[in-house]
Amino acid sequence: MDVAIVGASGYTGGDLIRLLLAHPHVRVVCATSRKLAGKPVVSVHPHLKGLIDLSFSNPSPDEMDADVAFLAVPHTAAMAYVRPLLARGMKVIDLSADYRLPREVYEKVYGVTHTDYFPAPYGIPEIHRDSYKNADFVSNPGCFPTGATLAAAPLARLAHTVIYDSKTGVSGAGDNPSATTHYPNVADNINPYKWTSHRHLAEMRQELAALGSRARCYFTPHLVPVNRGILTTAHILLHEPLDQADVDELYRKYYDGEFFVRLQNPVLAAVRGTNFCDIRAESEGERVVVVSAIDNLGKGASGQAIQNMNIICGFDEREGLTGAGLLP
Ligand SMILES: NC(=O)c1ccc[n+]([C@@H]2O[C@H](COP(=O)([O-])OP(=O)(O)OC[C@H]3O[C@@H](n4cnc5c(N)ncnc54)[C@H](OP(=O)(O)O)[C@@H]3O)[C@@H](O)[C@H]2O)c1
């Protein structure tokens, strides 16, 4: 299958190319960048030198030809591509936030007008795959909501309060430098940010509700000096206490057969570069502390997007995604 990546010069676009090079059924035929059109893909992705012979281009959506398109562009940019690419017969996976929330919630949270809204499946495969395996379009979830939701899902219905505390690597902010991501601000430092108002909170609450939970939900992210990875500590306050054996059994059953969720002590390095989510839950009765680790560019973005492509194209979900993490 031919694949197009819109926004291929950025971090998630680069990781899509890297991962798709190991996919047996696809080849990347189009990699877009407005600023770098005409330049080789390896000019900004030197780790791919010798592995791909392709230059960036800047086609309009009506000029693009492929079987599948990934949209690895900022929110508001994706909405201009989705319908034209679907009309050309492509399957589309959107990594941006443009189709993750109902229109009115999206417009409130992101402070912009949606110019081409329609409801779309929210692609956390371990929770929703059955509802979208025949879809042509999938909205790929946010990075924080993916790690947080996978951590809480088995206990969601039993909880009255869920508090997510996340640490994220700097690539989560994309390749556009800013004061926040400037080296002296990040190195040897930890910065809490958007303590009570991060945009991903709306997705986290939406997912808890989708899981049948009525729990209150709170979220505080922290920027830590690593390139990749999100470690989320979920404090899950239960209506009734559960002992460790009950919690272990709940998680084992919930994720039975899920290749990409591994129940083991979560550390960032073990999931770096992969589509795995490592989770461990520890009970102290009415509070269960659950920690998850993902790569924000892997299970938090490009890896999960490829998993979603595999689902809607009828491939084995693991195709292209079985590489191990980088440890140490
Ligand atoms: N970074 C993460 O960990 C992560 C995780 C989950 C989801 N996401 C989401 O994935 C998307 C991409 O994130 P990223 O981190 O890869 O961003 P990025 O590094 O800033 O890259 C953005 C890409 O989009 C292109 N682009 C920007 N504005 C565009 C426009 N108006 N029309 C067409 N192309 C445009 C850029 O190239 P040109 O400007 O040269 O065209 C670049 O290739 C975002 O929506 C982000 O929220 C990111």
Give pLDDT tens digits for 74-127: 999 999 999 999 999 999 999 999 999 999 999 999 999 999 999 999 999 999
CA dist 201 and 207 (Å) reads 10
| Alpha-carbon gap, residue 262 to 277, rounded angstroms | 6
What dotted CATH number matches 143-296?
A: 3.30.360.10
Give the CA angle between residues 148, 127, 308 to the nearest 5°.
95
**Which of these, 221, 219, 215, lies nearest to 190 by C-alpha position?**
221
SS3 290: strand
Q: Which atom of ligand 1 is nearest to the CA of 95?
A: 10
Domain range 2-120, its CATH number among 3.40.50.720, 3.40.50.970, 3.40.50.300, 3.30.2320.50? 3.40.50.720
Task: List the Cα angle 97/101/106 in 5-degree steps.
Answer: 75
Determine whether the shortest distance from the Cβ of 102 to ligand 1 is under 6 A: no
Measured CA to CA, the distance from residue 15 to residue 164 in angstroms comes to: 26
Distance 35 CA to ligand 1 centre (A): 12
Per-residue pLDDT at 327 exceeds 90: no
Contact 25, 321 (CB under 8 A): no
Tell me the domain boundaries of the chain: 2-120, 143-296
Instruction: Supply the mean pLDDT for the chain.
Output: 98
Q: Among residues 324, 326, 327, which one has the least CA distance to residue 276?
A: 324
With a 6 Å cutoff on the Cβ, whether 143 touches ligand 1 is yes
Question: Given a cut of 90, is residue 60 above it in pLDDT?
Answer: yes
Using CA positions, which residue lies closest to atom 27 of ligand 1?
A: 73
Mark residue 47 as left, alpha or beta (left: phi above 0; alpha: psi -120 to 50; beta: remaining). alpha
Instruction: Provide CB contacts within 8 A for 110, sequence distance 6+.
Output: 75, 76, 97, 199
Report whether pLDDT(328) > 90. Answer: no
Which of 6, 11, 12, 306 to probe ligand 1 with, by most ligand atoms within 8 A of CB? 12
Q: Is the CB of 61 under 6 A from ligand 1?
A: no
User: Given the structure tokens 């499946």, which residue do they identify?
Assistant: 121
Catalytic residues: 143
7: Cβ below 6 Å to ligand 1? yes
Note the pLDDT of residue 188.
Answer: 97
Q: What angle (nearest 5°) sits at the alpha carbon of residue 26, between those of residues 21 and 27?
A: 65
Q: Closest ligand 1 atom, CA of 96? A: 45
